[in-house]
Amino acid sequence: MKEPTPKQELIAQGAEAKILKEGNFVIKNRISKSYRHPEIDKKLIKQRTKREFNILEKAYKLGISPKPALEGLDKIKMPFIEGKKLSQELENLDYIEICKIIGNNIAKLHDNNIIHGDLTTSNMIFVSNPAKKSAPTKKATKNSTINNKVVFIDFGLGFTSERFEDRAVDLHLIKQALEAKHHTIYKECWKIIEENYNSKDRANTLAQLKKVESRGRYKKGE
């Protein structure tokens, strides 16, 4: 394995991957597990990198995620998103507006059969009015929040599915994450996300969410 070159900076280290910053890009580099057989390890890393890349690319086309590029068999390169990580900042921001965008984003993913799989505020970055930097249109000046974005990252547990059950579990995950990490604003935030979950299958998915919740604490199968 290559050592990071000097211009790379380690910005996050998870169980599955290292995140390196290189200029205006990040490189998500999946790491080997010494307890796995080397051949199996290589195969798993390749499969998971490819899968995350494919889902990121779809999400990028929907305007929700950074544009990914594959680098070798174990790395995804994408633009570094300059913004506020919601796990750290949600309470200090306009969380009502942000939760509207989150609800819209999740609906868009689900309507395109994408399940994020790890919907927490650690995997969301708020980018405030990116269009402001370029020439603002009349519309954008009238409503300065029009181009605010919540960029979703980390599709490492993502998959494609049309099942209401999988969509409902995705919603349940963000609901639980809000309750755990943003307790003081949780109820308000969830209400807004639910109201703005404008999926074409909204009714079915929300009905399924009730079923998921009535089963008690849902245990995420790893």
Q: What is the smallest separation between the CB atom of 81 and ligand ADP, expressed in angstroms? A: 4
Total Cβ atoms within 10 A of residue 87: 15
Which of Mg ion, ligand ADP, none has residue 85 at its interface (CB below 5 to 8 Å by kind)?
A: ligand ADP
- In angstroms, what is the C-alpha Rg of the chain? 18
Q: Which of 41, 74, 111, 118 is catalytic?
A: 118
Segment near Mg ion (CB under 5 A); pick from 43-51, 69-77, 122-130, 199-207? 122-130
Query: Does the active-site annotation cover 118?
Result: yes
Part in contact with ligand ADP (CB under 6 A); list of ranges 97-105, 152-160, 182-190, 201-209: 152-160
Q: Which amino acid is at 71?
A: E
State CA 143 to chain mean position distance.
Answer: 26
CB of 154 to Mg ion, least distance (A): 4
154 binds ligand ADP (CB under 6 A): yes
Q: With CB under 6 A as the rule, give the number of residues binding ligand ADP.
A: 19
29 touches Mg ion (CB under 5 A): no
Q: Enumerate binding residues for Mg ion (CB under 5 A).
A: 123, 154
